[in-house]
Chains A and B, each alone.
Chain A
Amino acid sequence: MNLILFTFIVLLGFTSYYFGRKKAYTIQSTKKRLTALPQFYGYYLAIWCAIPAFIIFSLWAIFEPTIVKLLILSDYSNQGYLDDELNLIYEKTKALSRGQFTGEITPFIEASAEKYLSLRSIAQSSKVVIVLSAIIASVAYAYKRISSNSRTREPVEKFLNAVLFTASLAAILTTVGIVFSLIFQTIDFFKVIPLFDFVFGTHWYPAKAFVRDSSEALDPTMYSDTFGAVPIFAGTFFIAFIAMCVAIPIGLMSGIYLAEYASTKVRQYAKPLIEILAGIPTVVYGFFAALTVGPFLKELGTSMGLEVSAESALAAGGVMGIMIIPFISSLSDDVITSVPQSLRDGSYAMGATKSETIKRVIFPAALPGIVGSILLGVSRAIGETMIVVMASGLAANLTLNPLESTSTITAQIVVILIGDQAFGDPKTQAAFALGMSLFLVTLCLNIVALRVVKKYREKYE
């Protein structure tokens, strides 16, 4: 029903566009000069169609459920029901009206369900009537108003401005919303676990928190030595570091090769091939790391007399690095290619060789972009989850030995949130605290990156 109504309104919008433009043409044919192109008259009318429809639809969406609920429950007032019971009755009514109610049907509820259905259908038809009449009234009003010298261009531009603004606002508000949802849970978490223990504790063992029976009262002492985040922060940076050790040199060098040395033909094939790497799902990298690279490293280690764990930071970090190569190579290829040819010519004309030119002129000129691509790679590495979960294990060891297994923030969030969890439990809240810290880390990283790039720009532009 709503879909039909919506389609109809869209059709109305097109019709009003058509009529607006037609009126503009009519005016034009009387040799009067218009203040805007005929299309603007069309857009103007279409906007007068869209705005009332939008307002009424949103008002309806906000108020209809509340009003219907009030009307239904008014039958039960003054009968001594508690709020909770009233809510339950309302839920039962709704379920029954949809035919999904399985419990015992009392006559009261049956009556309510019938009333609910009739209310809904009244609401629906009045919505149709109101929306359509509002649209027709507003379009008619606007249609009468437009004349040769009415202003249509400015309102249309303003409307577009408002639409675009709303879109960006939505993006910003979502971010703010996410941060807030993190903040409250995080604060709750730190009410139980002291911040100091979290930041400086060296034991991360959330499984311990499983043991608690939820009926028992919270005993903070029980959580000491459970949520010390040092090992997983260390693990996160360590694995990211290993990944960047693989990704930066290979990515940069292949980017430079593609941009400066490769012939058009090689470049034409090599670039898409490298970019395929970016399209492989991380799960695939994950089992590549866990089933191929991990065991291979273990065997290699054994043959050299080293003890290598099957799940090692090296396997996870190395494969993660491979995953990040295309980001760095492709982006740095782009920035290097966009360095103006005149700089290359200037350098060659001084007698510089290709490698000197790259090292002394092109690389510095492309540096802001290259730093940007590297930082993008770093935040990918820090946020990467699947490879770590599959290849580096879940035990949060505090170690700097790449041959042992370590765990990362993201992997631990997975560990915590897999399976049953209760809201309000410190264990669940720990995930939020981790998410929050991850957010802060990447935020700082981005701020630093922007600073670096900006400072460099100021210096050379």
Chain B
Amino acid sequence: MRKNGVKMIKIKAKDVDVFYGKKQALFNISLDIEENQVTALIGPSGCGKSTFLRCLNRMNDVIDICNVKGEILINDFNINDKSCDVVRLREKIGMVFQKPNPFPKTLYENVSYGPTIHGMAQSKQEMDEIVETSLKKAALWEEVKDRLHEPGTGLSGGQQQRLCIARAISVRPEVILMDEPCSALDPIATAQIEELIDELKKEHTIIIVTHSMAQAARVSQNTGFFHLGQLIEHGSTDKIFKNPDNKKTQDYITGRFG
């Protein structure tokens, strides 16, 4: 959403450090994420992209040895603050993982999982509606509408990933985090998901980690380049790809390392 041509900032990371035990994985990351835009995070393997993504919905809490320092403001509220309710936070910030991970339940139960635990539907009818719209938004409805009560694990890889996207958007999150969502998929399924991302950004803010430069260039408006736990450069995708300030960025994008 733009107000008078000024882009709204949805997420503001300030001086974020992350430690796994004694080992520091992220150094002093400060990054602004614009609302209703797709932001791509790129960088060589092990540079901390996933770690940063997991900071944004506090999924690093799940890892015992992981320790996050610094401020992350979402809608101007610091999610690292003690008063932050993780359940509410994760309701607002959805996540799609690298490997499709549908629950061993039916398609319907997979999509209705979030709405159920957040008590978003008052009746069966409402739930049916949520499931249908989510699946439609995830471009999966036509393929599965006759088999909603079959296990989600019986779908193809690409369908499973779209099911996971449907699951993530079922609670109408404001932000969707995607960690290499296409790395297990073939080009056709990848194209479908990219199209979907373009569609989803109308209602959601999207942050996507990807190893494919082409994908970053295709789907994102902003790009951040990570290297060895540091955010080397960030800005509009156009600028990063055509005219980066930093030599490392230039080298990575042109495939000279990483």
Contact = CB atoms under 8 A, between A and B. Distances in A.
16 contacts: A346-B101, A346-B103, A346-B164, A347-B103, A348-B90, A349-B57, A349-B97, A350-B94, A351-B86, A351-B89, A351-B171, A352-B87, A360-B103, A361-B105, A365-B104, A460-B153
A356 interface: yes
A350 B104 contact: no
B101 A460 contact: no
Contact of A342 (B101, B105, B113, B117): B101
Given A350-B171, A460-B153, A345 B117 contact: no
Contact of A345 (B86, B91, B97, B114): B97
Contacts of B59: 345, 348-349
Interface in B40-59: 57, 59
B101 A350 contact: no
Contacts of A123: none
Nearest to B57: A349
Contacts of B151: 459-461
Contacts of B94: 349-350
Contacts of A264: 64
Contacts of A343: 101, 103-104
Nearest to B115: A350
Interface of A: 263-264, 340, 342-353, 356, 360-361, 364-365, 459-461
A350 B114 contact: yes
Given A345-B62, A348-B59, A350-B113, A460 B90 contact: no
A271 B90 CA distance: 33
B219 interface: no
Contacts of A364: 103-105
A75 to B, nearest CB: 78
Interface in B74-97: 86-91, 94-95, 97
A452 to B, nearest CB: 16
A356 B99 CA distance: 22
A374 B95 CA distance: 36
Interface string B217-256: 0000000000000000000000000000000000000000
A344 B90 CA distance: 14
B159 to A, nearest CB: 16
B117 A460 contact: no
Nearest to A354: B62
Interface string B176-212: 0000000000000000000000000000000000000
Given A350-B90, A350-B117, A360-B113, A342 B104 contact: no
Interface string B94-112: 1101010111110000000
Closest 9 CB pairs of A and B: A351-B90, A349-B95, A342-B101, A460-B104, A351-B91, A346-B101, A350-B114, A365-B104, A351-B87
A344 B63 CA distance: 12
Interface residues of B, number: 29
B118 interface: yes
Contacts of A346: 97, 101-103, 164, 167
Contacts, number: 76
Contact of A351 (B64, B103, B117): B117
Contacts of A347: 103, 113
Contact of A348 (B62, B103, B171): B62
A363 to B, nearest CB: 11
A343 to B, nearest CB: 6
Contacts of A352: 87, 113, 117
B121 to A, nearest CB: 15
A344 B62 contact: yes
Contacts of B167: 346, 350
A342 B103 contact: no
Contacts of B113: 347, 350, 352, 360
Nearest to B104: A460
Given A348-B90, A351-B87, A365-B104, A461 B171 contact: no
Nearest to A351: B90
A367 to B, nearest CB: 9
Contact of A361 (B88, B89, B91, B103): B103
A361 B114 CA distance: 12
Contacts of B164: 346
B77 to A, nearest CB: 16
Contacts of B117: 350-353, 356, 360
Contacts of B87: 351-353
A326 to B, nearest CB: 26
A378 B208 CA distance: 50
Residue with the highest number of chain A CB atoms closer than 10 Å, among B64, B94, B101, B153: B101
A263 B117 CA distance: 26
A342 B184 CA distance: 15
Nearest to A342: B101
Given A346-B101, A365-B104, 13 more contacts: A342-B101, A346-B103, A347-B113, A348-B62, A349-B57, A349-B168, A350-B171, A351-B114, A351-B118, A353-B117, A356-B117, A460-B153, A461-B151
Nearest to A339: B104
A356 B117 CA distance: 8
A342 B62 CA distance: 12
A351 B88 contact: yes
A217 to B, nearest CB: 65
Residue with the highest number of chain B CB atoms closer than 10 Å, among A343, A344, A348: A348
Nearest to B62: A348
A362 to B, nearest CB: 10
Contacts of A342: 97, 99, 101
A420 to B, nearest CB: 58
Contacts of A356: 117
A357 to B, nearest CB: 9
Contacts of A365: 103-104
Contacts of A461: 104, 151, 153
A349 B104 contact: no
Contacts of B118: 351
